[in-house]
Amino acid sequence: MSSGQGSTGNVIAAICSFFVPGLGQLVQGRVLSAVFWFLAACAAGALTWVLTLSLFPFGWFVVSVLSCISAAVYRRPVG
């Protein structure tokens, strides 16, 4: 079973992380990373909302893209 970059599992995890940052990491079994990405998205979304008073949480979107990339390129440690 392939669990490296570009594998089906990583693609599914990346899609999950795009919609909810950290969800893809949770699917991969990386709980601490999932909590980090979700809290980072909440903080970034709140900060950009407060600074811009906009309904579009730009910070959330940026963190979700970074979380998506993190899930997509993850490689399980061998051993």
> d(Cα 49, Cα 72) in Å, to the nearest integer?
28
User: pLDDT digit string (tens) for 3-58?
Assistant: 565 678 899 999 999 999 999 999 999 999 999 999 999 999 999 988 888 777 78
Per-domain residue ranges for the chain? 8-73
pTM, whole model, 2 decimals?
Answer: 0.83
What is the distance between the alpha carbons of residues 65 and 20, in angstroms, rounded to a whole number? 10
3-state secondary structure the chain: CCCCCCCHHHHHHHHHHHHCCCHHHHHCCCHHHHHHHHHHHHHHHHHHHHHHCCCCCHHHHHHHHHHHHHHHCCCCCCC
